[in-house]
């Protein structure tokens, strides 16, 4: 197995993040630092990250209803809590993608790097749905612009699915993962987001999970997520 995939498989990081760790010379094999992410390894190869042995561990994936002012990180050195602090587990869990501190709702934590990579890689176009409360009512023209794609400073967005839930509330589904994308899209049509909640990730729905609550995903939910991610 490729070294980068092995690190992801063992829950150290996603595959792309593992490649960065290797390039930063933080991974060794039998005490020797390696920089080749394609190096063939297995559990008996003596892989270590930060001086600690890396071995496969049982997979865990959790759904979290992230509250406001909680960061989408495994650790948070500042005053705010990290989303990983909400889950009680002995595994090395990390978030699947990001959800801004001023946004709430569904975020996944896992130690399955392969699943995390597939769910966030643009190639697989996994949909994510958000409920957005807007500063002012939104009209049919603005909705049409959001649906067809808008121009942002990092290029045009792909078409999205948008439904008006109320005069100042929409549900928008995107298949990209740009930084603060929904907020910037709304600003591009002359409005602003007052509150943003992610309510769906692939086939997984937030439902009535209370803010700050967590639960481990069932096998059937994981099978559906893998199907969402193209496997």
The domain spans of the chain are 3-53, 61-113+209-228, 127-201
- Which residues belong to the active site? 100
- Per CATH, domain 3-53 is 3.20.20.80: no
pLDDT in tens, 152-163: 999 999 999 999
Q: Which of 88, 63, 14 is nearest to 199 (CA)?
A: 63
Fold exhibited by the domain 127-201: Alpha-Beta Plaits (3.30.70)
Is the confidence at residue 18, as pLDDT, over 80?
A: yes
Tell me whether the CATH fold assigned to 3-53 matches the one assigned to 127-201: no
pLDDT category of residue 32 using cuts at 50, 70 and 90? very high
pLDDT in tens, 43-53: 899 999 999 99
Give pLDDT, residue 83: 94
Rounded to an integer, the average pLDDT of 111-130 is: 92
Is the confidence at residue 227, as pLDDT, over 70?
A: yes
| Residue 90, C-beta contacts closer than 8 angstroms, at least 6 positions apart | none
Q: What is the DSSP letter of 196?
A: E
- Per CATH, domain 61-113+209-228 is 3.30.70.580: yes
Give the global pTM: 0.81
Q: What are phi and psi of 117, to 5 degrees?
A: -65, -45
**CB-count exposure of residue 69 (10 Å: 0-12, 13-18, 19+):** exposed
Please identify which residue in the block is written with the tokens 């990092």: 154
Q: What are phi and psi of 197, to 5 degrees?
A: -130, 130
Averaged pLDDT score across all residues of the chain? 93
Is the confidence at residue 75, as pLDDT, over 80?
A: no
| Residue 130, C-beta contacts closer than 8 angstroms, at least 6 positions apart | 105, 171, 172, 173, 174, 182, 196, 197, 198, 199
pLDDT category of residue 80 using cuts at 50, 70 and 90? confident
């Amino acid at each position: 197995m490729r070294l980068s995939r092995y690190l992801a498989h063992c829950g150290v990081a996603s595959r792309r993040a593992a490649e960065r760790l290797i390039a930063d010379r933080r991974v060794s094999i039998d005490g020797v630092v390696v920089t080749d992410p394609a190096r063939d390894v297995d559990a008996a190869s003596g892989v270590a990250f930060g001086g600690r042995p890396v071995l496969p561990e049982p997979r865990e994936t959790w759904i979290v209803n992230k509250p406001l002012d909680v960061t989408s990180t495994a650790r948070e050195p500042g005053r705010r809590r990290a989303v990983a602090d909400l889950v009680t587990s002995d595994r090395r869990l990390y978030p699947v993608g990001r959800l801004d501190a001023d946004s709430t709702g569904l975020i996944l934590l896992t130690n399955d790097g392969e699943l995390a990579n597939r769910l966030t890689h643009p190639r697989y176009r996994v949909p994510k749905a958000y409920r957005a409360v807007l500063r002012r009512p939104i009209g049919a023209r603005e909705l049409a612009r959001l649906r067809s794609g808008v121009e942002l400073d990092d290029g045009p967005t792909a078409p999205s699915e948008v439904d008006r839930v109320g005069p100042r509330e929409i549900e928008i589904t995107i298949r990209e993962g740009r930084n603060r994308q929904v907020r910037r899209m709304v600003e591009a049509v002359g409005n602003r987001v007052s509150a943003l909640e992610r309510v769906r990730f692939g086939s997984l729905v937030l439902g009535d999970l209370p803010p700050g609550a967590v639960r481990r995903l069932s096998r059937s939910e994981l099978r559906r997520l893998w199907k969402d991610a193209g496997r």
